[in-house]
């Protein structure tokens, strides 16, 4: 067999149809893709020689010409509550991070994964945004993070149940790789995780949400709102000047029709900035009767940032007001505060510190 690719044949993080086509171009049967995926994702075998249902010639060829690339684990910081932060080094030395978030009460084990090195969007409260943008991750690099954290979860006798694209970067700004990754996560020969257990969190980029709706995948969608009016939102999130709130609202309806799932509005709460009942009331008026859940996220304080975390009483008061007005509202549990466990905030901080 000739290596027509002029580079090593990457076998991890490639969606099934693409991998099958790549095998086909080598003169192999398409189902080889499924076989290799099962070895990698179900049996945790990363050595082509051990993939015994492949023909000997293909095994030898893959051993010489193939690769299964995983990022290097630089550090694992564990928190008392069971959450863990992983710092990974990619092939070109760039650093990204994933966070494992267990939830015993709901029997849920979530990985928060990065989709870019840095970020273009410069949200005022986010350390990743302060780093600027470096590059997109490939689907191999996204899946590699999940693969390693899943092994860690398995060592504790647990199963990975949920994925959130909420780490470093804006996932919809790297849509192709994110869609490819979700395919790998979703198919049985991959991780076998249902779309409703995969959440993509975005600042709200209308054309990218439209593109997502043109793909076959239907993950849950969360839009980082953080303010109920354009004046405040533009101060916190510069992207709002380009895509103000009124452009996002119709998309919520549309995404609901597409996915049959309510969209989440994330509302990071900052003391004295967006946590008063006046803002709660504005929020009620903005989204009442829409298929939207609100997730309140008390800010995890970061050194060098002026934003403060509101008092728990204030957060509860805000939630009560929304509940009293018939909204569906949750408060995100603060996992891993000691390791600065909020996705995005944490990754940026680590990378800034490592400079
Ligand atoms: S919050 Fe998300 S979109 Fe905003 S700067 Fe941070 S990583 Fe980028």
Task: Output the pLDDT for position 304.
Answer: 83
Q: Strand pairing partners for 77?
A: 85
Nearest residue (CA) to ligand 1, atom 4: 123
Task: Output the pLDDT for position 354.
Answer: 40
Q: Which CATH architecture has domain 72-353?
A: Alpha-Beta Barrel (3.20)
| pLDDT in single tens digits along all 355 residues of the chain | 777 777 899 999 999 999 999 999 999 999 999 999 999 999 999 999 999 999 999 999 999 999 999 999 999 999 999 999 999 999 999 999 999 999 988 889 999 999 999 999 999 999 888 889 999 999 999 999 999 999 999 999 999 999 999 999 999 999 999 999 999 999 999 999 999 999 999 999 999 999 999 998 999 999 999 999 999 999 999 999 999 999 999 999 999 999 999 999 999 999 999 999 999 999 999 999 999 999 999 998 888 888 999 999 999 999 999 999 999 999 987 665 555 444 455 545 444 444 3
Q: How far apart are CA 351 and CA 117, in angstroms?
A: 10
pTM for the model: 0.93
Q: How far apart are CA 17 and CA 34, in angstroms?
A: 9
Locate 254 and state its tokens: 């549309």
Which CATH topology does 9-67 take?
Answer: DNA polymerase; domain 1 (1.10.150)
If phi > 0 it is left, if psi is from -120 to 50 it is alpha, else beta; for residue 302 that is: beta
Q: Per the residue annotation, which of 28, 97, 183, 350 is the catalytic one?
A: 97
Query: Is 75 assigned a catalytic role?
Result: no
Task: Output the pLDDT for position 160.
Answer: 97
119 within ligand 1 shell (Cβ under 6 A) = yes
126 within ligand 1 shell (Cβ under 6 A) = yes
Atom of ligand 1 nearest to the CA of 127: 6
Burial of 275 per CB tally in 10 Å (0-12, 13-18, 19+): buried
Q: Each residue of 233-268: pLDDT tens digit?
A: 999 999 999 999 999 999 999 999 999 999 999 999
Task: Output the pLDDT for position 93.
Answer: 96
Q: How far apart are CA 97 and CA 169, in angstroms?
A: 11
Q: How far apart are CA 302 and CA 218, in angstroms?
A: 33
Q: How far apart are CA 120 and CA 201, in angstroms?
A: 15
Query: Is 123 assigned a catalytic role?
Result: no
344 within ligand 1 shell (Cβ under 6 A) = yes
Yes or no: say if 86 and 145 are a contact pair by the CB < 8 Å rule: yes
- Tell me the CB-side half-sphere exposure of residue 104, using CA atoms within 13 A: 5
122 within ligand 1 shell (Cβ under 6 A) = yes
Task: Output the pLDDT for position 339.
Answer: 54
Distance of CA 238 to the CA centre of its chain: 21
Contacts of 342 (CB under 8 A, 6+ apart): 297, 300, 334, 336
Query: How many beta carbons lie within 10 A of that of residue 160, not counting itself?
Result: 23
Apex 197 CA angle, 95 and 35, nearest 5: 75
Task: Output the pLDDT for position 178.
Answer: 98
Contacts of 146 (CB under 8 A, 6+ apart): 98, 111, 113, 160, 163, 181, 185, 191
Q: Each residue of 149-183: pLDDT tens digit?
A: 999 999 999 999 999 999 999 999 999 999 999 99
Q: Per the residue annotation, which of 112, 119, 126, 343 is the catalytic one?
A: 343
> Residue ranges of the domains in the chain?
9-67, 72-353
Yes or no: say if 139 and 8 are a contact pair by the CB < 8 Å rule: no
Reduce the DSSP state of residue 215 to 3 states and report it. Answer: coil
């Amino acid at each position: 067999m000739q290596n027509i690719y002029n580079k090593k044949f990457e076998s991890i993080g490639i969606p099934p149809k693409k991998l099958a086509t790549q095998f086909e171009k080598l003169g192999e049967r398409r189902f080889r893709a499924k076989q290799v995926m099962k070895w990698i994702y179900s049996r945790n075998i990363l050595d082509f020689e051990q993939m015994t249902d492949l023909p000997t010639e293909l095994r030898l060829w893959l051993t010489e010409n193939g690769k299964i690339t995983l990022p290097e684990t630089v550090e694992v910081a564990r928190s008392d509550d069971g959450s863990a932060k992983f710092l990974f080094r990619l092939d070109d030395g760039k650093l990204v991070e994933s966070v494992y978030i267990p939830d015993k009460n709901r029997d849920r084990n979530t990985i928060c994964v990065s989709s870019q090195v840095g970020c273009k969007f410069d949200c005022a409260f986010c350390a990743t945004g302060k780093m600027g943008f470096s590059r997109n991750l490939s689907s191999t690099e996204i899946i590699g993070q999940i693969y390693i954290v899943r092994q860690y979860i398995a060592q504790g006798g647990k199963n990975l149940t949920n994925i959130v694209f909420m780490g470093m970067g804006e996932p919809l700004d790297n849509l192709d790789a994110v869609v490819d990754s979700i395919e790998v996560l979703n198919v049985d020969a991959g991780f076998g995780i249902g779309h409703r257990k995969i959440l993509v969190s975005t600042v709200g980029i209308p054309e990218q949400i439209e593109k997502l709706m043109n793909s076959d995948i239907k993950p849950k969608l969360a839009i980082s709102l953080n303010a109920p009016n354009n004046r405040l939102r533009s101060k916190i999130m510069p992207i709002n000047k380009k895509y103000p709130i009124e452009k996002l609202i119709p998309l919520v309806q549309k995404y609901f029709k597409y996915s049959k799932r309510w969209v989440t509005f994330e509302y990071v709460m900052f003391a004295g900035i967006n946590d008063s009942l006046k803002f709660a009331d504005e929020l009620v008026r903005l989204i009442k009767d829409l298929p939207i859940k609100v997730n309140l996220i008390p800010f995890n304080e970061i050194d060098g940032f002026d934003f403060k975390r509101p008092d728990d009483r204030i957060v509860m008061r805000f939630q009560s007001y929304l509940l009293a007005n018939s909204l569906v509202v949750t408060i995100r549990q603060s996992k891993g505060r000691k390791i600065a466990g909020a996705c995005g905030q944490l990754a940026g901080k680590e990378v800034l510190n490592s400079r």
